[in-house]
Amino acid sequence: MAKKQFKAESKRLLDLMINSIYTHQEIFLRELISNASDAIDKLAYLALTDQNVGMSREDFFIDLRADKKLGLLTVSDNGIGMSKEEMEQNLGTIARSGSLQFKQALDKENADVDIIGQFGVGFYSAFMVADTVTVLSKKYGEEEAWMWQSSGADGYTISPCEKTTVGTEVILKLKADTEDEKYSRFLEQYELQNLVKKYSDYIRYPIRMEMEKHRRKELPEDEKDEKDEDGEEKAPEWETYTELSTLNSMIPVWQKSKKDVTDEEYDGFYKDKFYDFEKPLAHIPVSVEGAVTYKALLYIPAKAPYDFYTKDYKKGLQLYSSGVMIMEHCEDLVPDHFRFVRGVVDTADLSLNISREMLQHNRQLSIISTNLEKKIKQELLNMQKDRREDYEKFFAAFGRQLKYGVVSDYGMHKDALQDLLLFWSAKEQKLVTLKEYVEAMPEEQKHIYFAAGESNARLAQLPQYQRLQEKGFDVLFMTEDVDEFVPRTLMNYMEKDFRNLATDDLDLSTEEEKKAAEAVAEDWKEDLDFIKTALEGKISKAEVSADLGSHPVCLVPEGGMSFEMEKYFKRMDPEMSGRLQKILRLNPDHPAIQKLKALIPSDPEKAKQYAQVLYVQGLILADLPIEDPQAYTELICGLL
């Protein structure tokens, strides 16, 4: 029979499996059992809506069989089975996300074999322990059964075979033992039993095996009271028998009571189920009885998946009804701002064959989701309080999502999210919550100050910042795209409003200072007009300001939007026309500015050039591009 070739990607993965020196080869069993369980899920689901299946939950099982003489290990199920085409498709390609993710990680991390076990690597993992893999399968509803067979990377065959029952049998011809590796251990019942406990305990169908057991031989009645020669009771006699035993507890971890589950078990379940090799930062077991009765188990991952901030990422929780999965990603169970949460919801209150459209408008679901949202928030707040380092890790991964959450939907979720935010405190040199910021404010500070820009180092250069620093006021430095929109959306926090260093009145002057400033402005009126004319087309206004500290000038945008925000919009839409108008602020106490003022009546031509230089300084400080660098250098050279 002609051998068929594996698809290129599969071949590479297969090679890796066959030549693997990975020490946790045992995970192959977990993979085969999980496939069996998936196949049973499918038939069980069908049985709910199709009378003809004639099976109920109790009729399903996964059987392990070890044949020591032949060196064969068989995993069989009475699930949905595979047709010939499905064998071709499913066993000849890496279709599943786990294997793909695994491959991607391998490509990235220089094929570090130690990460193999941390992914769901799927069916091919069988080749880590087997020379030959044979799959017999009969699909539900079909007459014929098929056999798939492969001895590794050189290809596989598919041929008709005899099989009377629906389902699949995967037969492994184990590799011969070597000095380093005893493959025959996978034929030992205790080894198999342990592996099932370790990896597959929550599989909801019985995983059965004929177990050899020992028991005391029942003595015939008349011998029972007999004593031996010394008058002692006779030594007990033992006999060996076999019994079909169920190896797994079958209760899914989310159905178990919290006190019966260890942290390792919770973490292990997460890694297995959601193909993450990092421990989650938190697990949230939920058990609710009431208007809707359900159990849930939610996780906060430690890292954002590589596609998290793209359209490809699928949010949602797995939805089960009485132990049968009905939806892999039920989006309606988590709000967008918590879309990083992974987990499972199981409720008997949902009908199983409910359609997706009906689910969307389901009242029970919306009760559950409201409830879960509260639980998630509470968990995050607890983490913020008790495990700050973990919380910062969380925030590094998903903080941006929370900020998007604040600004999206016209700020609808801001009250729910504002306490979860962290920003960089320039004074404390660490991340703080808004609450921490406000509580640390000196009594005379009236506003929450923030500055947005490319980097903390740049922001620390702002003249306005230096002014605030002198007063002992803290400033929140915001360096992410979305940051600046957050205070705009929140408007205030604990009754303190936000003031943007770049655009807003910092409100620092006393009444007297304000009066004095007005007098200065009056004195400068004509000079300011001169400067505005000198910078025609570049600025919309020139003004004097007492907020500049030791700096001679700064540029601020007119009209509330900041330069940073403008840059952000330009990045989003490079075609965006129009620019923000700029206001040039001058420090009347600065010697350079005083010199300029003196020059205006005596040497207007030179004063004009000074104004131009100062304008460019403003551009530099505001991190804006110099419009005509060549003209600027010429200008400077001319002045030297």
Residues in contact with ligand ADP by the rule CB under 6 A = 31, 35-36, 38-39, 77, 79-82, 90-91, 96, 98-99, 122-123, 168
- What is the closest distance, in whole angstroms, from the C-beta atom of residue 342 to ligand ADP in the complex? 17
Contacts of 370 (CB under 8 A, 6+ apart): none
Dist CA 632 CA 626 (whole Å)? 8
Q: Which stretch binds Mg ion (CB under 5 A): 31-39, 254-262, 391-399, 603-611?
A: 31-39
Coil/strand/helix, residue 20: coil
The residue (of 30 and 413) whose beta carbon lies closer to ligand ADP is 30
The residue (of 80 and 195) whose beta carbon lies closer to ligand ADP is 80
452 touches, from ligand ADP, Mg ion, none (C-beta below 5 to 8 Å by class): none
Contacts of 544 (CB under 8 A, 6+ apart): 517, 520, 521, 524, 528, 585, 586, 587, 588
Q: Which stretch binds Mg ion (CB under 5 A): 116-124, 202-210, 473-481, 529-537?
A: 116-124
- What is the closest distance, in whole angstroms, from the C-beta atom of residue 419 to Mg ion in the complex? 41
- What is the closest distance, in whole angstroms, from the C-beta atom of residue 441 to ligand ADP in the complex? 54
Q: Which of 155, 153, 207, 162 is nearest to 32 (CA)?
A: 207
13 in Cβ contact with 165 (< 8 Å): no
380 touches, from ligand ADP, Mg ion, none (C-beta below 5 to 8 Å by class): none
Dist CA 97 CA 549 (whole Å)? 57
- What is the closest distance, in whole angstroms, from the C-beta atom of residue 96 to ligand ADP in the complex? 3
Q: Please give the structure tokens belonging to residue 87.
A: 């064998």
The residue (of 92 and 122) whose beta carbon lies closer to Mg ion is 122
- Amino acid 97 reads S
Dist CA 639 CA 142 (whole Å)? 92
The residue (of 30 and 283) whose beta carbon lies closer to ligand ADP is 30
Contacts of 476 (CB under 8 A, 6+ apart): 423, 424, 425, 426, 432, 437, 448, 449, 450, 451
Q: Please give the structure tokens belonging to residue 141.
A: 């509803």
The residue (of 29 and 426) whose beta carbon lies closer to ligand ADP is 29
Q: Which of 25, 35, 384, 545 binds Mg ion (CB under 5 A)?
A: 35
The residue (of 80 and 341) whose beta carbon lies closer to ligand ADP is 80
Q: Which stretch binds Mg ion (CB under 5 A): 34-42, 415-423, 576-584, 597-605?
A: 34-42
Helix H or strand E segment including 399: helix 388-407
- What is the closest distance, in whole angstroms, from the C-beta atom of residue 304 to Mg ion in the complex? 24
**φ/ψ bin of 464: left (φ > 0), alpha (ψ from -120 to 50), beta (otherwise):** alpha
Q: Which stretch binds Mg ion (CB under 5 A): 30-38, 50-58, 242-250, 385-393?
A: 30-38
489 touches, from Mg ion, ligand ADP, none (C-beta below 5 to 8 Å by class): none
600 touches, from ligand ADP, Mg ion, none (C-beta below 5 to 8 Å by class): none
- What is the closest distance, in whole angstroms, from the C-beta atom of residue 494 to ligand ADP in the complex? 49
The residue (of 274 and 308) whose beta carbon lies closer to Mg ion is 274
The residue (of 90 and 489) whose beta carbon lies closer to ligand ADP is 90
36 touches, from Mg ion, ligand ADP, none (C-beta below 5 to 8 Å by class): ligand ADP
- What is the closest distance, in whole angstroms, from the C-beta atom of residue 501 to ligand ADP in the complex? 52
Query: Phi and psi dihedrals of 569, rounded to 5?
Result: -65, -35
The residue (of 122 and 252) whose beta carbon lies closer to Mg ion is 122
90 touches, from ligand ADP, Mg ion, none (C-beta below 5 to 8 Å by class): ligand ADP
- What is the closest distance, in whole angstroms, from the C-beta atom of residue 61 to Mg ion in the complex? 18
Q: Which of 117, 122, 399, 405 binds Mg ion (CB under 5 A)?
A: 122
79 sits near Mg ion (criterion: CB under 5 A): no
Report the C-alpha dihedral over residues 531, 537, 541, 543, rounded to 10 degrees. Answer: -30
- What is the closest distance, in whole angstroms, from the C-beta atom of residue 28 to Mg ion in the complex? 11
- What is the closest distance, in whole angstroms, from the C-beta atom of residue 333 to ligand ADP in the complex? 22
- Amino acid 76 reads S
364 in Cβ contact with 350 (< 8 Å): yes
The residue (of 94 and 284) whose beta carbon lies closer to Mg ion is 94
- What is the closest distance, in whole angstroms, from the C-beta atom of residue 347 to ligand ADP in the complex? 25
Q: Which residue is nearest to ligand ADP (CB)?
A: 122
Distances (CA, A) of 36 to 40, 154, 185, 330, 518: 6, 26, 22, 23, 82
The residue (of 95 and 416) whose beta carbon lies closer to ligand ADP is 95
What b/e string do you get for 312-326 counting C-beta neighbours within 10 Å, with b at 16 or more?
Answer: eeebbbbbbbebbbb
Distances (CA, A) of 382 to 281, 284, 377, 393: 12, 12, 9, 14
Query: Phi and psi dihedrals of 311, rounded to 5?
Result: -70, -25
DSSP helix, strand, coil percent of the chain (3-state; round to 5): 45, 20, 35
Q: Which residues bind Mg ion (CB under 5 A)?
A: 35, 122
